[in-house]
Amino acid sequence: MALVLLALALAACSRATGDTASRLAGGLDAADVERKPWPERITPTNPWPAKVAGVGPRVTFTMAGTIAGGLGRTTVDVGPPPADRPTGGRALVLPGGERWYPQKPFRIEAEGDLPFVAVDAGAGFSFQATGRDVVVQAGFGALLAAAGGTFVAHGEFVREDGTRAADLSVPPGTSLADGSGGTGSDVVTGRVEPVDGTPVSASGDGEAAVAGAAVGDAEGHTWEALVTAVEAEQVTASATFDGVQWHVEATAEGARQLWVDGWPVADTLLHARSYSVEPGFFDRNRLLKVEWVNAGQATAQILEAEGSGPGALRVGFDLNKTLGHDAGLGVRRGDRVTNLRGGGDVDSNLPPGDRLNRELSYDAGQAATLVLRGNFPEVRVDLAVPGT
């Protein structure tokens, strides 16, 4: 029943946007999304399921996955060589130690599915597609394994002795080395040419987003939007290309957040406190600390920070300029700081259960209060400024 309602809502969304379908091939402007007001919100009290469905020119999956049959349509970019010499930068190191330096992106000649993988364990996974432009981050070793252990690379390569080649056989055991000769990162950027019906699948900790005509569903509520994203520890997502746009579905049993037109629509709860501690060996004055913890069931998004009191303008505090949850459109939401001096950026996102602790600069004896606003009841913290 829920899937039927989701399909009906998506159809209604397409009708409501009028000429959306005709605009998809030409792209969707971030300004279209930024004009959207903050929609109705929910407040989950337990782990909560969420779904996203949509059709549009842009899709992003930030978790591991594969593009079926995409390996042979992939061009790999390991980064350019230094301007002063061709035999620098990253190199393909054959099993015998022979090094070949790509001078430009090279195309893989192989059959198989294309895996896109993590930059590192903490950075998550990434897949982004805009119409016929598909960009992935992929492990070089994983590409070689997907090709059955060997492939031919078509591009432009230079060996250390100056020998050049347009085609390079890449055998089992080939690795990727950085410019200093070390192994460095195994991750490369790949561009894939999708064909009609190209299926993409992904799952894991991260986010799935679609821009165009989209619908989000959670806790008995449905939101129609230009952009929708679901964030969770376990997202299962799929996308299919029809030659012009992407058809996307994603589900999560324990969602962290549902983003609608760049807004968080699941509210949470922040607990905050401030305290001061004795100075360290290199410090002259007591240290001022502020800490808050996300005590709810959804990712917190701080949209605004405000200072009050005579010492507020001497308190160093700023928010990072968060972008995301928008399938790569570049939508900005919030990140406003008023009546504070500015300083090191504080991450404005906080998953459920996480806490953040920061040191703030201050003027001794000048009282100040920090006010945080976002998808949670307003939080006011009387800062423990030494001397007040």
Question: Is pLDDT at 22 greater than 50 in this prediction?
Answer: no
Tokens encoding 59: 């899709």
CA dist 66 and 112 (Å) reads 10
What pLDDT does residue 83 have? 85
The pLDDT assigned to 240 comes to 96
Is the pLDDT at 16 greater than 70? The verdict is no
**By the 8 A CB rule, do 238 and 249 touch?**
yes
270-382 CATH: 2.60.40
pLDDT score recorded for residue 287: 92
| Average pLDDT value for residue range 147-160 | 95
User: Within 10 Å of residue 62's Cβ, how many Cβ atoms?
Assistant: 25
What does the pLDDT read at residue 125?
59
Q: What is the pLDDT of residues 361-372, one digit of tens each?
A: 999 999 999 999
- Report residue 161 CA to chain centroid gap: 41
Contact 56, 210 (CB under 8 A): yes
In the 3-class helix/strand/coil scheme, how is 27-83 assigned residue by residue?
Answer: CCCHHHHHCCCCCCCECCCCCCCEEEEEEEEEEEECCCEEECCCHHHEEEECCCCCC
Read off the pLDDT of each residue in 284-308 and give the average, rounded to a whole number: 94
pLDDT band at residue 126 under the 50/70/90 scheme: confident
Phi, psi dihedral angles at 9 (to 5 degrees)? -65, -40
CB-based contact 115:64 (threshold 8 Å) = yes
pLDDT category at 27 given cuts 50, 70, 90 is low
Cα–Cα distances (Å) from 378 to 14, 128, 381, in that order, read 36, 35, 10
- Which residue type is seen at 45? T
Spatial CB neighbours of 171, under 8 Å, sequence gap ≥ 6: 94, 95, 149, 150
pLDDT tens digits along 45-104: 999 999 999 999 999 999 999 999 999 999 999 998 888 889 888 999 999 999 999 999
Burial class (CB in 10 A: 0-12, 13-18, 19+), 120: exposed
Main-chain phi, psi angles of 5, to 5 degrees = -60, -35
In angstroms, the CA 259 to CA 109 distance is 39
Confidence category of residue 154, pLDDT binned at 50, 70, 90? very high
Q: What was the pLDDT predicted at 19?
A: 40
Range in 123-127, 134-138, 292-296 with the lowest mean pLDDT: 123-127
User: Is pLDDT above 80 for 323?
Assistant: no
Q: What is the pLDDT of residues 243-256, one digit of tens each?
A: 999 999 999 999 99
What would the pLDDT profile of 166-194 be if each residue is shown by its tens digit?
999 999 999 999 866 666 678 899 999 88
Whether the pLDDT of residue 348 is over 50: the answer is yes
Confidence (pLDDT) at 388: 86
Q: CATH 2.60.40 occupies which residues in the chain?
A: 270-382
> For 309-325, what is the mean pLDDT?
88
Average pLDDT over residues 289-311: 96
Q: In sequence order, what are the beta bridge partners of 100?
A: 92, 159
pLDDT at 352 over 60: yes
* Percent of the chain whose pLDDT exceeds 90: 74
Q: Would you state the pLDDT for residue 278?
A: 83
Residue 94 has a pLDDT of 96
Q: How many CB atoms lie within 10 A of CB 290?
A: 21
Give the burial string for 254-266 (b: 16+ CB within 10 Å, else e).
bbbbbbbbbbbbb
Token reading at 352? 């459920």
- For the chain, give the mean pLDDT: 88
Helix (H) or strand (E) run with residue 20 in it: helix 20-24
Model's pTM, two decimal places? 0.88
